[in-house]
Amino acid sequence: MNKKLISFVVPAYREEKNISLFYDEFKKTFADLEGKYDYELIFVNDGSPDETWEEILRLCEIDTNVKGINLSRNFGHQAALTAGYTNASGDAIISMDADLQDPISLIEKMLEEWEKGFEIVYARRTNRNDNWLKKYTALLYYRLLANISETQIPRNVGDFRLISQKVLKTFLQLPEKDRYIRGIFAWLGYSYSFVDFDRPERIHGETGYTWKKMWKLATDGILNFSTFPLKIGLILGVIMMLLSFGFFVYVTIDFFVRDTYYPLYKWLTIGMFGFMGLQFIFMWILGEYIGRIYNETRNRPIFIISEKININKKPHENTSKSVGFDAEL
């Protein structure tokens, strides 16, 4: 009986202390599945300034099923994920982080759901061991996104997921640059299931997701999957017109009935500053969308691969040519 191949895509940034721990835990877990599945473990080094790449190279030497991709610089988590996806050969592909906060023990349950026929299996967090600020800002963000997005994006899921080869081929044809991958998979519309888990604390180091990177991910999610920001101008414009009309009626009645005097310059000054604020908001919104159009039209790849280890195959033939650049081809 031919075994099915499962690809594991693991982006890594500043994970020198976690790579070996991840591999050891992975081997222990996958030992129970080796009778049914083969594996390839693809580590993607996202321009780490520490010894992450050296740790990946060491594992590649002792296990040919471990494959390494080294990006030329830090392109970001979503780009690193895409680089791994373009080089995955499996019948199913599981993406997860190297910090062990995505429990490797969940792999078996995810594969069971896939074997039932689901094309996407999301690992859904039931508990987050984050600080209160990150926890509640994440809660507010996902509620906002759920209310304004044209695509229903599952809540409490990150990039720990399983996708089928069919979903991967579809995903790799998409050429967009500013990627919000969890939104893209939701937009594709394939059948999906969930496997719930409690997210443990990070063992070593600090997360590579700084507030700046989280802000970028959040804006990608909102602007890539919602036109609501473009409607803010209409909403605020209608509110301002109603308030202006109401104030005009009030002043007119007060002037003729009570003979009250209102200095015009006071209201002109307040109105001027209010409209200046609105102009800046609109300029920011238009700037974000124009910036995204600029990113798409200049057609730069979202990642550059400088080195690959134990990967002999070429990236998928149906991959959009504008997605990434491989210096080794």
Looking at residue 316, what is its pLDDT?
54
Residue 142 lies in a domain: no
Residue 106 lies in a domain: yes
Cα–Cα dist 176/322, whole Å: 8
188, 164 Cβ separation under 8 angstroms? no
The answer to whether residues 282 and 318 belong to one domain is: no
The answer to whether residues 74 and 19 belong to one domain is: yes
Q: Which residues pair with 10 in a beta bridge?
A: 43
Mean pLDDT, the chain, whole residue set: 80
Cα–Cα dist 203/99, whole Å: 7
Residue 304 lies in a domain: yes
The answer to whether residues 53 and 187 belong to one domain is: yes
Cα–Cα dist 232/289, whole Å: 14
**Would you give per-residue pLDDT tens digits along the chain (329 residues)?**
689 999 999 999 999 999 999 999 999 999 999 889 999 999 999 999 999 999 999 999 999 999 999 999 999 899 999 999 999 999 999 999 998 889 999 999 999 999 999 999 999 988 766 666 666 666 666 666 566 566 777 888 889 999 999 999 999 998 777 777 888 898 898 999 999 988 766 555 555 555 565 666 566 655 565 556 666 655 666 666 666 667 767 666 766 777 666 677 656 655 666 666 666 667 667 766 776 776 667 677 889 999 999 987 555 555 555 566 676 55
80, 11 Cβ separation under 8 angstroms? yes
The answer to whether residues 179 and 67 belong to one domain is: yes
The answer to whether residues 32 and 66 belong to one domain is: yes
The answer to whether residues 122 and 268 belong to one domain is: no
Residue 263 lies in a domain: yes
The answer to whether residues 59 and 164 belong to one domain is: yes
Strands of 303-309's sheet in order across: 192-198, 120-127, 157-164, 92-95, 4-12, 37-45, 66-71, 303-309, 324-326
88, 43 Cβ separation under 8 angstroms? no
Cα–Cα dist 230/297, whole Å: 21
Looking at residue 258, what is its pLDDT?
74
Q: Which residues pair with 163 in a beta bridge?
A: 93, 120
Q: How many domains is the chain built from?
A: 2
Looking at residue 199, what is its pLDDT?
76
**173 burial via Cβ count (<10 Å: 0-12, 13-18, 19+):** exposed
The answer to whether residues 36 and 176 belong to one domain is: yes
The answer to whether residues 189 and 232 belong to one domain is: no
Write down the H helix ranges in the chain.
19-30, 52-62, 77-86, 107-115, 132-148, 165-171, 181-188, 211-224, 228-258, 264-298
Per residue in 258-278, pLDDT (tens digit) is 766 667 765 665 566 666 666
Q: Which residues pair with 5 in a beta bridge?
A: 38
Looking at residue 23, what is its pLDDT?
97
C-alpha 19, offset from chain centre: 22
Backbone φ/ψ region at 184: left (φ over 0), alpha (ψ -120 to 50), beta: alpha
**Letter string b/e over residues 294-311, b meaning 16 or more CB atoms within 10 A of that residue's CB:** eeeeeeebbbbbbebbbb
Residue 145 lies in a domain: no
Give the number of other Cβ atoms within 10 Å of residue 190's Cβ: 15
The answer to whether residues 285 and 308 belong to one domain is: no
Q: What is the DSSP string of 82-115?
A: HHHHHT---SEEEE--TTS-S-GGGHHHHHHHHH
The answer to whether residues 193 and 232 belong to one domain is: no
The answer to whether residues 15 and 118 belong to one domain is: yes
Structural domain boundaries, residue 73: 4-130+153-210+300-326
Per residue in 3-62, pLDDT (tens digit) is 999 999 999 999 999 999 999 999 999 999 988 999 999 999 999 999 999 999 999 999
